[in-house]
Amino acid sequence: MKRTVFTAAVALIFSALAQAQTPSGPTGSILTPAQPPSQPVQQPAVGRGNGRAQQDFPNLARYRDANRNLPAPSASEARVVFMGDSITELWDQDPGKFFASKGYIGRGIGGQTTPQMLIRFQQDVVALKPKVVVINAGTNDIAGNTGPSTLEMIEDNLKSMAQIAVSNGIKVVLASVTPAYDYPWKRGLEPAEKVVALNSWMQKYCVKAGCVYADYFTPLSDEKHGMKEGLSLDGIHPTPAGYAIMAPIAERAIAQALGKE
């Protein structure tokens, strides 16, 4: 039953992403980030001058109330916030309840790119006063969800988030982009080698900047640099088995960031 619910949640988010990528009329469509599976999915805004995607590009409204209602961390609490896209959002709701069992705070929004996350980083990370932030971002940039992005543009946004965190006394974990051989909502982009290149940059940046690199990619990847069979429903979003592989990697990275490993 739990697996069925999780599968339905993945399907719902995937459906929303697919709709958001379908052109509509001469101006095309603007991505509306997927809503969490427990809430109704809004239709994507169309055109360039209207819709929620234009009025709230980073979707600051998504976690605004949750942030206000979150108590400040206690003096002894090592709060951890996960910033990301649908992979983070779904992980926060997976049947194993990994986030809930560890007290981690999920701030993932389906479909989001690094410029959107950078804008909401102050509200959804810094203001929560965590000890550690785990950033998992970049695959939707490669997919072009909010327009064309070069690897350098993605790297700059990741660096900016990391620098904001460090300047506020927050330890940084940069998590690798998970394998992506093809995007179901935008076929033919051949993202696999771009993902490899971005991950390579991340790993080198962490050595230089003193952050921690969490390598989800290696154990999830097949010989074509896509997701291994059985670890994803659509080639992008992990199944519970995929998340089970990612969990100890995240925990080790967090412990290292906190100086406990």
109 pLDDT exceeds 60?
yes
Q: Is 105 within 8 Å of 130 (Cβ atoms)?
A: yes
How much is the pLDDT for 228? 98
Residue type at 27?
T
How much is the pLDDT for 53? 60
Q: Which residues, including other chains, have CB under 8 Å from residue 114's CB and lie 6 or more apart?
A: 137, 138, 141, 149, 153, 154, 157, 158, 161
Mean pLDDT calculated for residue range 231-245: 95
Structure tokens at 186: 């935008």
How much is the pLDDT for 260? 83
How much is the pLDDT for 222? 97
**Which has more confidence, 53 or 213?**
213
Mean pLDDT calculated for residue range 166-188: 97
- Provide the whole-model pTM: 0.82
Mean pLDDT calculated for residue range 5-24: 45
Q: Which fold has domain 57-257?
A: Rossmann fold (3.40.50)
C-alpha dist (Å) from residue 108 to 32, 34, 210: 14, 10, 24
**Tens-place pLDDT, residues 42-63:** 333 223 333 456 689 999 999 9
10 pLDDT exceeds 80?
no
Domain-wise residue ranges, the chain:
57-257
- Provide, rounded to the nearest whole percent, the portion of the chain with pLDDT above 90: 76
How much is the pLDDT for 95? 67
**Tens-place pLDDT, residues 78-92:** 999 999 999 999 999
187 pLDDT exceeds 70?
yes
